[in-house]
Structure 1
Amino acid sequence: MTQRVLVVDDDQTVSDVIRRYLENDGFQVSLAADGAAALEAVEREKPHLVVLDLMLPRISGLQVCRQLRVRPDGVPIVMLTARGDEADRILGLQLGADDYLTKPFSPRELVLRVRSVLRRAAGGPAPERPEALTDGGLVVHTTSRTAHLAGSELALTLREFDLLVHLMRHPSTVFGRAELLEQVWGWNFGDHSTVTVHVRRLREKIEADPADPQRIVTVWGVGYRYEPTHA
């Protein structure tokens, strides 16, 4: 099945280059030049992934990201940001974007990022590890990619889910941010704030008090570790 990608950017030259590279890699690509058109295209075309520029007319990319994240289908999002827009990039990650690239970027790298996000979204073959990871009232099913806390399903993005599974599979093990970028995101480079943002979002969803986390603990100067609560 050909996978559909919606590219949202008001720069026609950038959109055309992205489309050409994605189509050459086998994707079916459609374009939208502003936020309102992007939301309409998502409803109409049901893309498998959205490449989303943050600087858009009519409705901003951040607003588009926020609206897509309340949809039940959880369409993956790869953000495009200008080099100086660190605050917007962090906000986009907080809103649930799955990956990002900073302009100017390599179109070939974008294709690789799109492939990586879609591969994670598909889940791949069933893992050899046990399907269910449990910690008290927190239950994570790795094959169905669902997580529940006290019986209620958690709304996790692709990266949040992968990060949680990785940490739970290695309890009491300390990981640096660079290690997590490589082992969870598959990047051997990148902004370490990406990890910080995702940890913060995870804490908001699985900790009784995110300001005093008991599961995802900060090891100052090093990184993070997962401490089972057994509650």
Structure 2
Amino acid sequence: MSKILIVDDEPNILLSLEYLLKKDGHRVFIARDGEEAIGIVDKDSPSLVILDIMMPKVDGYEVCKYIKNQDPSVKVIFLSAKSKEQDIQKGLAIGADLYLTKPFVNKDLVAKVKAILN
């Protein structure tokens, strides 16, 4: 069972992803901002983090840098409304394994999570 951390400040996204990923057999943690995410990363060592970029306190770029500095083997998927090519390139350049844009299709996201964890 993989440990997955979902980080987003939108409650609807947190709830739907938590439900989908638990149903798919994963242990799921949620954080509503970057600061909370870093605390969970340190305490629970997830193998995958699904990360929004625009969040209060600490943005997703900084969280990704922190995660990759702590443990480069942790997979990071950015899930963001920021869809410009420069945003995607920045996300990948700082270490994200995948960059997906909102809105997204639930079953596609679950398939991508499976692929990245295998």
Q: Indicate the TM-score class for this superposition, using the shorter chain for normalisation.
A: over 0.9
Higher relative contact order by CA 8 Å / sep ≥ 6: 1 or 2? 2
CA displacement 1:115-145 (0-9 Å, x = unmatched): 11111xxxxxxxxxxxxxxxxxxxxxxxxxx
Q: Which residue of 2 aligns with 1:153?
A: none
Gaps of 5+ in 1: 120-231
Distance 1:19 1:65 in 2: 20
Matches within 5 A, 1:23-38: 23-38=22-37
Q: Which residue of 1 aligns with 2:110?
A: 111
Q: Which residue of 2 aligns with 1:66?
A: 65
CA displacement 1:69-97 (0-9 Å, x = unmatched): 11235210011121544322210100010
Distance 1:88 1:37 in 2: 23
Aligned residues: 118
Distance 1:73 1:89 in 2: 19
Gaps of 5+ in 2: none
Distance 1:72 1:21 in 2: 26
Question: Scaled by the length of structure 1, what TM-score is found?
Answer: 0.49
Distance 2:4 2:71 in 1: 18
Task: Compare 70-79 and 51-60 and name the one that shifted more.
Answer: 70-79
Cα RMSD, aligned residues only: 1.2
Distance 2:81 2:53 in 1: 8
Q: 1:87 is matched by which residue type in structure 2?
A: Q
Question: Scaled by the length of structure 2, what TM-score is found?
Answer: 0.94
Structure 1's consecutive aligned runs of 4 or more residues displaced over 6 angstroms after TM superposition are none
Distance 1:89 1:73 in 2: 19
More helix by share: 2
Distance 2:47 2:112 in 1: 14
How many angstroms does 1:55 deviate by? 1.0
Matched residue SS, 1:69: helix
Distance 1:94 1:73 in 2: 13
Answer with 1 or 2: which has the greater Rg.
1
